[in-house]
């Protein structure tokens, strides 16, 4: 039996990776769809676990060979994408696939899979809080944080294209709510 698909999308810093990591530790039979990216790994990130880190040249070759389900130049010069082989690999094991992608990627994956997929939009309590979270995460310099926050303002308007909106204010409550959403979807 092929697994179901669960998409978590949000502006950068809203908390989707935190939520997805929590869900992966629960007993939902989920496996993470490892995306490909042309950006440099952060100090704690591992190739094949957090991302497939590719050179821009190799990324472009895969685009040409039609190897991506979806891909985007998310921040100018930085490519991100979901490999078709990754989704197939997970579904062939009969596991459910969980995605952590930006909002346009999320909308595209949902369009492709329709009812087989649940698309969740993670919404920060405010843009100011989003900025604070990015600053506290300390993974990007201020100039890149500014780019992410500017993009977030537009991305927030995509929320209504998703099946569900999850407001990530108090984290413990958010995680409980996310678990409820997944339980409901997997029991359909
Ligand atoms: N409810 C919350 N309250 C306060 N801080 C939070 C909350 N949820 C997540 N965070 C923190 O906010 C930061 C951003 O979270 P996270 O990395 O999960 O966001 P993201 O949406 O995956 O961002 P990106 O798209 O850039 O990867 C992290 O430092 C995380 O620990
Ligand atoms: N469209 C896609 N977006 C993706 C994919 N994998 C990750 N992302 C999104 O990119 C930004 C930045 O991520 P970061 O790790 O550099 O902070 C974030 O919104 C990710 O969700 C993908 O395969 N496709």
Residuewise pLDDT in 10s, the chain (188 residues): 579 999 999 999 999 999 999 999 999 999 999 999 999 999 999 999 999 999 999 999 999 999 999 999 987 789 999 999 999 999 999 999 999 999 999 999 999 999 999 999 999 999 999 999 999 999 999 999 999 999 999 999 999 999 999 999 999 999 999 999 999 999 99
Domain extent for 155: 5-186
Neighbours of 138 (CB within 10 A): 8
Ligand 2 atom closest to the Cα of residue 81 is: 23
Answer yes or no: is 14 a known binding residue. yes
Q: What ipTM was estimated for this complex?
A: 0.96
Q: Is 106 in the pocket of ligand 2 (CB under 6 A)?
A: no
Please enumerate in sequence order all residues whose Cβ is within 8 A of that of 84, keeping only pairs 6 or more positions apart, or say none: 67, 68, 69
Number of domains in the chain: 1
Atom 13 of ligand 2: nearest residue by CA position: 12
Q: What are φ and ψ of residue 63, in 5° steps?
A: -60, -45
Residue nearest to atom 17 of ligand 2 (CA): 12
The set of residues, in sequence order, having a beta carbon less than 8 Å from that of 175 and lying 6+ positions away, is: 19, 22
Known binder of ligand: residue 78?
Answer: no
User: Running DSSP on this structure, what letter comes out for residue 71?
Assistant: E
Cβ proximity of 84 and 69 under 8 Å? yes
105 lines ligand 2 (CB under 6 A): yes
Ligand 1 nearest atom to the CA of residue 170, by list position: 1
Global pTM value? 0.95
Ligand minimally distant from the alpha carbon of residue 78: 2
Point out which residues pair with 38 in neighbouring strands.
none
- The reply to whether ligand 2 has any atom less than 6 angstroms from the CB of 35 is yes
Residues ≥6 apart with Cβ < 8 Å to 135? 142, 145
CATH number at residue 45: 3.40.50.300
């Amino acid at each position: 039996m092929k697994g179901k698909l669960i998409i978590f999308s949000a502006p950068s810093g809203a908390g989707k990776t935190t939520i997805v990591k929590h869900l992966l530790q629960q007993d939902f039979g989920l496996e993470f769809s490892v995306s490909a990216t042309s950006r440099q790994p952060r100090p704690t990130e591992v190739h094949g676990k957090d991302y497939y880190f590719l050179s821009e040249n190799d990324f472009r070759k895969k685009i040409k060979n039609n190897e991506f389900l979806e891909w985007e130049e998310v921040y100018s010069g930085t490519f991100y994408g979901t490999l078709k082989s990754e989704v197939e690999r997970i579904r062939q094991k009969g596991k459910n696939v969980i995605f952590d992608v930006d909002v346009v990627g999320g909308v595209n994956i949902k369009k492709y899979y329709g009812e087989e997929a649940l698309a969740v939009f993670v919404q920060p309590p405010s843009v100011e809080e989003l900025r604070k979270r990015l600053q506290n995460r300390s993974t990007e310099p201020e100039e890149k944080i500014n780019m992410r926050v500017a993009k977030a303002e537009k991305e927030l308007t995509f929320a209504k294209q998703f099946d569900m909106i999850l407001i990530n204010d108090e984290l413990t409550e958010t995680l409980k709510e996310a678990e409820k959403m997944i339980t409901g979807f997997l029991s359909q």
